[in-house]
Structure 1
Amino acid sequence: MRPSDVYPEGAEFGFELLVCRWAEAAWPPDGGSDGDAVIVARQLGTKRRRWDTIVVECDPAGLAARARFGDRELDSDLLHVVRHAPAEWAWYRDALPHPGYPWRYVRAAVHRAAGRGVVEKRRRNNRIEIRRVAPYPDWVRRIVAVENKPDLDASAARALSDQLARDVDTALADEVWVATAATGGRVEPALLEDVPVEVGILAFAFDADAPGDAWADATVEWHPSDVTPADAESDEERTTTRLELAERAYGAGWRSYHDTMRPDCRHFELRRYGRALVPHCAAKGGPQTAAECAGSCPDFEPEPPVWRTGGWPVEGGPGKGIQSLLRDRREWVRGREYPETGADADPGEN
């Protein structure tokens, strides 16, 4: 299978999925490691900025402790409750810092948190008291943002330049990269484009037929600068925003593309590319983007009901199987990063 079979010219979706799979298995690019665990997600960001790929470098012990709060993300309201929940029973208004918005919303978050088992709750003297189930750990070490541009020509670089400059200035991520497709030239064209000097450049060459980890070759063409601010530890707003971003990455992962695509379509398939599984449309005879693969697609056909009974669980057909496979793979990755809490056997390379 050629790279163009996964990300045709001008399309970034397939390239992005391959970059995510490589990062999950081989981060950091220079091969060095401080023993960090890694969580990879895609299409995450803030109201003002969304990145193609997010790599969260985690403290392994902290990541294992984070598992105590379940597999789903903790949104901003739940984080406010969980991070400040006291070790002993206390009225929630005494225990939690003022949120800057009405307490009734905090009370609703307390009920949600208790319902998910991430805090304990009781009513005493007509007041709602809370107690933590465990301290919320300091599990995030660094956040790395990656922009994926397989064809980083001059026009693409110009369009990205201002965004990348703002990424460097705001420094929400500790490090910023651009990932592009290698051309094989003596000097990669990306080095000659208008990319901020603080931003690293990764050139990727993918070969579906190469054995093992050789399917993806990532070359560092330019090393990034660490843009973490000097006052990062005392900047509570930055810390909170980064935790919210890391929580979303923890809950979603990069395989969550099936949430916005239609694996229940009879034409939806997963095909192996190297050590990755990527979506493929049998009707189009090639790859599709997440935007194309929707109920509005003229080729969309629901799975025939008979598919859901012929050897498949009654509650779903192949589409449910695809969703289950991708979810199981995400769980296996978590188990690999902190094996004392999860499975240690690979259910199938992806």
Structure 2
Amino acid sequence: MTPDAEFGYELLVCRYAELAWHPSEGSRPALVSRQLGTKDRRWDTVVIELDPEAFERRREFGDRAIDSDLLHVVRGAPAEWAFYRDALPHPGYPWRYVRQAVHRAAGRDLIEKRRDGNRIEIRRKRPYPDWVERIVAVENKPDLDRSAADRLSDQLDHDIETALADEAWLATETTGERVEPALLREMPVEAGILATDFSGGLDADAADVAWHPSDLSPGEGQRRDPETETLRLEIAERAYGKGWRSYHDTMRPDCRHFELRREGRALVPYCAAKGKVPTARECSGSCPEFSPEPPQWRTRGWPIEGGPGKGIERLLRRRRERERDRAERVE
């Protein structure tokens, strides 16, 4: 059964994208994340299509995201030792912040550094690869009434005008009607429409393309400006580090009522006390039903592995890692 909350629907769309991306053009290696974007626009679901060989080289930089300051250092680090201010392009902000990023990058083993008198020199350990091929934005709205359609239309218009993503989609629940209502709403024609049916559980056949999207990437011989390309890479890095299962960071899996329940080939959070999929706002320490695990649960195992909540966190992290492995192997 499809979860009641839009949050639960969002998780199912993310899992569907892992199983069946691209919905109209066949299998493509990809990573899926959620609630990412810029200060002006946040996307529900983000699909990062990638080059498997380049992605394998990206993974040599570790499992954590490389933030914007670190990207400036890692991408600009030279093959031979050089003073960091000579090696890196001007950041547009004071060099002292770059110096801090150099120390952080070396601390994470992303680059090498050494001191030559009062000068800090850097050298790359390995080239940072061009692993991102395309970025796809998906807005999720299971119940597309007219007011919701009006808001989404404005948001999708923004995505198409800025062309920060290479495709823009709307995912909505199918109604079974001959013509899906989403096709009758005033949506931008450039946005694709994905009609989902999770009523029987989630699998790779749980959605159909009701409308194909336009390609928003630059035409042949054209390129995005460097600032936009850097912003896209920052989004991709955050998607790599976060994934879409990171909801355990903002919810309370340490509550005795918190569970994971299966929806076909997906696992979604479930509150046994309220009998539904909770949102992050509901699943908090201020919830009147919140009941923390007893200390005896939290100190199980050796050295201390924790109770069911810690087990849920480990399970979700392992699944994120499994999907990274799978994306790396896809040809």
- TM-score w.r.t. the length of structure 2 is 0.96
Name the structure 1 match of 2:216.
Answer: 227
Give the Cα–Cα distance (whole angstroms) in 2 for the partners of residues 324 and 169 of structure 1: 40
**1:168–1:227 contact (8 Å) kept in structure 2:** yes
Identity of aligned residues (%): 70
Residue matched to 2:84: 92
Q: Is 1:329 matched with 2:323?
A: no
Which residue of the partner structure matches residue 282 of structure 2? 292
Q: Distance in 2 between matches of 1:41 and 1:153?
A: 26
1:175-254 to 2 correspondences below 5 Å: 175-208=167-200, 213=203, 216-230=205-219, 233-254=223-244
Note closer, same or farther for the CA distance 1:89–1:260 as it changes in structure 2 (3 Å cut): same
SS at match of 1:128: strand
2:255 paired residue among 259, 265, 271: 265
Is 1:14 paired with 2:8? yes
CA contact (8 A) 2:300 2:306 kept: no
Determine the C-alpha separation between the residues in 2 that align with 1:337 and 1:229: 25
Equivalent-residue separation in structure 1 for 2:80 and 2:153 (angstroms): 50
Give the equivalent residue in structure 2 for 1:165: 157
The alpha-carbon distance between structure 1 residues 228 and 301, as it changes in their structure 2 partners (threshold 3 A), is same
Alignment-mate amino acid for residue 28 of structure 1: H
- 1:233 partner SS: coil
- Unaligned stretches of 5+ residues in structure 1: 341-350
Structure 1 residue 141: Cα displacement: 0.4
CA distance in 2, matches of 1:181, 1:235: 36
Matches within 5 A, 1:25-174: 25-33=19-27, 36-174=28-166
**Contact 1:54 1:143 survives alignment (8 Å):** yes
**What is the distance in 1 between the residues matched to 2:280 and 2:117?**
52
* Count of residue correspondences: 329
> How big is each residue's C-alpha offset from its partner over 1:26-79, in whole Å with a ceiling of 9 and x where there is no partner?
10001424xx42000000010010000000000011110101111000000000
Change (3 A) 1:274 1:162: same
Relative contact order, higher structure (CA 8 A, sep 6+)? 2
1:18 alignment partner AA:
L
The residue that corresponds to 1:344 in the other structure is none
Secondary structure (helix, strand or coil) at the match of 1:147 reads strand
Residue 314 of structure 1 corresponds to 304
Partner of 1:347: none
Contact 2:261–2:269 (CA<8 Å) still a contact in 1? Answer: yes
Q: CA deviation at 1:237?
A: 0.7
Q: Report deviation, 1:291.
A: 1.4
CA distance in 1, matches of 2:120, 2:231: 28
On the 8 A contact 2:35/2:43 being kept in 1, the answer is: yes
Pair 1:313–1:149, CA change in 2 (3 A): farther
For residues 55 and 258 of structure 1, the distance between their equivalents in structure 2, rounded to whole angstroms, comes to: 20
User: Matches of 2:266 and 2:114 in 1, distance apart?
Assistant: 47
Q: Tell me the secondary structure at the aligned position of residue 248 of structure 1.
A: helix
AA partner of residue 265 (structure 2): R
Q: Which structure 1 residue ranges, 4+ long, deviate > 2 Å from structure 2?
A: 207-210, 229-234, 308-315
Task: Provide the C-alpha distance between the structure 2 equivalents of 1:83 and 1:120, rounded to a whole number of angstroms.
Answer: 13
User: Are the counterparts in 1 of residues 53 and 328 from structure 2 also a CA contact under 8 Å?
Assistant: yes
Structure 1 residues 306 and 208: alpha-carbon distance in aligned structure 2, compared to 1, 3 A threshold: farther
In 1, Cα distance between the equivalents of 2:233 and 2:70? 12
Decide whether the 8 Å contact of 1:232 with 1:238 is kept in 2. Answer: no
> CA offset at residue 233 of structure 1?
2.6
Question: Could you tell me how far 1:308 is from its partner in structure 2?
Answer: 2.6
CA distance 1:310–1:98, change in 2 (3 Å) = closer
CA RMSD for the aligned pairs?
A: 1.6
SS at structure 2 position matched to 1:145: strand
Q: Relative to structure 2, which stretch is displaced further, 22-31 or 245-254?
A: 22-31
How far, CA to CA, are the matches of 1:129 and 1:233 in structure 2?
33
Counterpart-to-counterpart distance in 1, 2:310 and 2:322: 18
Q: CA shift at 1:217, angstroms? A: 1.5
Is 1:278 paired with 2:268? yes
Rate the CA distance shift 1:16–1:222 in 2: closer, same or farther, 3 A: same
Residue 310 of structure 1 and its aligned partner are, at CA, apart by: 5.2
The TM-score with structure 1 as length reference comes to 0.91
